[in-house]
Amino acid sequence: MRSAPDRLRTSTGMEGSLLVGMLMGLVTGAVAIGTAHLVAGLVNPGASPIVTVGQASIDATPEWLKGWAIRSFGSRDKLVLLSGIGAVLVLIALGLGIASVRRLWVGFVGLGMFGALGVVAALTRPAAEPIDALPALVGAVTAGATLLALHRRAFPTLRSAAPEPGGGAPPDLDRRRFLLAGAAGGVAAVFAGGLGNLLGHRFRADASRAEVVIPAPSSPATSTAGVELSVPGLGPYLTPNDRFYRVDTALLVPGVVAEDWRLRVHGMVDHEIALGYEQLLARPLIERDITLACVSNPVGGEYVGNARWIGAPLKDLLEEAGVLPGADQIVTRSADGFTAGTPTAVAMDGRDAMLAVAMNGEPLPLDHGFPVRMIVPGLYGYVSATKWLVDIELTTFDAFDPYWIERGWAERAPIKTMSRIDTPSPSAPLRAGRVPVAGVAWAQHRGVDRVELRIDEEAWIRAELATTDTIDTWRQWVVMWDAAPGDHTLQVRATDGNGETQTPERADPFPNGATGYHTVVVRVT
Ligand SMILES: Nc1nc2c(c(=O)[nH]1)N[C@H]1C(S)=C(S)[C@@H](COP(=O)(O)O)O[C@H]1N2
Ligand SMILES: [Mo]
């Protein structure tokens, strides 16, 4: 007879071990599929057992059953079949789990058989590669380890005691440790599976991007002769894609496949529009150089870049949809649920607001919003530049607060006039003599008319400006400086096309963009 406290910790009985077995089976099965799916996400999403075993099962389903499924469920037939297969797998997992309580080897044999099935299903797919066996193998091995760990947590006493010949008293159970381990296993399985899914999407999006051909724009960008000053240490006029800053809320880049992409234009419009990627590419496309900036960019910071974008004008699309009076906000939504709100009046005022599909001569990189993002010259990214764009809703500022507005950032955020000193850098050794001081200045959609440099609080010196063919990009500037030995403070300021000069007042990026003069201290020897 057990004493009362002992009974509390270890009481089991028939139903107890039945439940333990079922949970053990479910968690083990989930870990098998979750980890296999994760590995597939890394090596080849098509090699996930969910795909390979699912496909093999569908292929092996007798015709009469398939016919019945199609007749009864139409286009959802495959989902129904897969759910049926899933239900069978759950039952098998439950059974194996229950059997494993007494005879752990039964569980291992079962896992071995499923692992083998997964490997065969993966390797017999058309165009299979040896690596495709990996997901099922890893799934089976981690599931085996999970089963062992759960069993040890559940029955710590069983390890030492010799197994009793069938029908003995149920083994002792450590319920708390088992439930904790089971929950941890379940969470890990779901997490691994979800991660595998995201990675897998990224794979497919990469493949889809490789297939994309961007048509020639009907309105190409004008020539850029003279926009580039060649000064060592000054960055290029067009920022290469792999050096373009990236800012978003996505933990993992959403993998959107171009062929699956749909855009909905709805809300306060006369008629909704739904559009696929090919239809978007078939529209007249414009090509423009536009400098994008993040509101979080500190004075002198790197969260700004200039690219040559190709896209379909947003205005045309909105005119086709017919914007209803009063719809003062365009809310754009991404595949991962991010939202931005752009003033309708700004998008419609004739500037080159576009649904961009290409960046610097390539389809949009995944990190920068493939397949489609929005670009609106003159507005910070968080109120305009939605990446992985899937939805455009005409609404009002009163009716909806987008992502960053909910978090306190300004509702309307035109880009503030800003200038930056790129060279000389404070860290580099500088020799006395004639040195170029150079950088960029931007005031998108107002244009940069003047840049001035001040050295050691003396008079402002007017910088030489690179040419420009648009008011939507930054402008490079340079001043030749006779640098004398000693420490010197360099400061820059720009004046926009409306004659307004940058304020010297220092402000943090929150809530609508930083201000102040970029100031660099250099040591000349
Ligand atoms: N889907 C999505 N789009 C987004 C964001 C985001 O978090 N998610 N961030 C915005 C912000 S704050 C900026 S500054 C720009 C940056 O674009 P980039 O990463 O291509 O430079 O994207 C905008 N578009
Ligand atoms: Mo941003």
Question: Looking at per-residue confidence, does 75 or 132 come out higher?
Answer: 132
Measured from the alpha carbon of residue 384, the closest ligand is 1
Question: Looking at per-residue confidence, does 243 or 199 come out higher?
Answer: 243
pLDDT over 80 (residue 440) = yes
If you ran DSSP here, which 8-state letter would residue 323 be given? B
Do 28 and 136 touch, CB atoms closer than 8 A?
A: no
End-to-end CA distance of the chain: 91
Any idea which architecture 241-406 has in CATH?
A: Alpha-Beta Complex (3.90)
pLDDT over 60 (residue 343) = yes
Do 380 and 294 touch, CB atoms closer than 8 A?
A: yes
Do 261 and 390 touch, CB atoms closer than 8 A?
A: yes
235 lines ligand 1 (CB under 6 A): no
405 lines ligand 1 (CB under 6 A): no
- The pLDDT assigned to 39 comes to 95
- The pLDDT assigned to 494 comes to 98
pLDDT tens-digit readout, 263-285: 999 999 999 999 999 999 999 99
Q: Provide the pairing of β-strand 262-267 with 273-276.
A: antiparallel
- The pLDDT assigned to 85 comes to 83
Residue 381 CA to ligand 1 centre (angstroms): 6
Nearest CA, atom 9, ligand 1: 248
Quick one: tokens of 129? Answer: 């590669």
Alpha-carbon distance of 135 to 35, in angstroms, equals 7
- The pLDDT assigned to 157 comes to 66
Indicate the domain borders of the chain: 4-199, 241-406, 418-524
- The pLDDT assigned to 172 comes to 64
Alpha-carbon distance of 13 to 48, in angstroms, equals 39
- The pLDDT assigned to 2 comes to 40
- The pLDDT assigned to 11 comes to 45
Query: Which range has the worst mean pLDDT, 97-111, 126-140, 163-177, 357-371?
Result: 163-177
pLDDT over 60 (residue 165) = no
Nearest ligand 1 atom to alpha carbon 305: 21
244 lines ligand 1 (CB under 6 A): yes
Nearest ligand 1 atom to alpha carbon 334: 1
Q: Which one, of 519, 518, 474, lies nearest residue 496 by Cα?
A: 474
- The pLDDT assigned to 65 comes to 83
pLDDT over 60 (residue 159) = no
The continuous run of DSSP H or E covering 509 comes out as: none
pLDDT over 90 (residue 259) = yes
Q: Among 8-17, 97-106, 148-157, 360-369, name the most confident range.
A: 360-369
Residue 247 CA to ligand 1 centre (angstroms): 5
- The pLDDT assigned to 281 comes to 98
Question: Looking at per-residue confidence, does 250 or 351 come out higher?
Answer: 351
Q: Which one, of 164, 182, 191, lies nearest residue 21 by Cα?
A: 182
What percentage of residues in the chain have a pLDDT greater than 90? Answer: 76
3-state secondary structure of 251: coil
pLDDT over 90 (residue 428) = no
3-state secondary structure of 245: coil
- The pLDDT assigned to 171 comes to 59
245 lines ligand 1 (CB under 6 A): yes
pLDDT over 50 (residue 5) = no
pLDDT mean over 241-253: 91
Ligand 1 probe mutation, 248, 253, 331, most atoms within 8 A of CB? 248
Q: What pTM value is reported for the model? A: 0.79
The pLDDT mean for the chain works out to 91
- The pLDDT assigned to 69 comes to 77
pLDDT tens-digit readout, 19-68: 999 999 999 999 999 999 999 999 988 899 988 888 888 778 888 887 78
Do 189 and 50 touch, CB atoms closer than 8 A?
A: no
Alpha-carbon distance of 74 to 71, in angstroms, equals 6
Residue 237 CA to ligand 1 centre (angstroms): 21
Q: Which one, of 21, 18, 22, 26, lies nearest residue 187 by Cα?
A: 26
The dotted CATH code for 418-524 is 2.60.40.650
**At a CB cut-off of 8 Å and minimum separation 6, what does 341 contact?**
329, 330, 331, 332, 383, 397, 400, 401, 402, 405, 411
pLDDT tens-digit readout, 65-116: 877 877 788 767 777 877 888 899 999 999 999 999 999 999 999 999 999 9
If you ran DSSP here, which 8-state letter would residue 131 be given? G
If you ran DSSP here, which 8-state letter would residue 257 be given? -
pLDDT over 90 (residue 203) = no
Do 199 and 192 touch, CB atoms closer than 8 A?
A: no
Residue 305 CA to ligand 1 centre (angstroms): 12
pLDDT mean over 301-323: 98
Quick one: tokens of 427? Answer: 């860290």
Residue 468 CA to ligand 1 centre (angstroms): 26
Query: Which range has the worst mean pLDDT, 23-27, 199-203, 221-225, 443-447?
Result: 221-225
Alpha-carbon distance of 19 to 101, in angstroms, equals 10
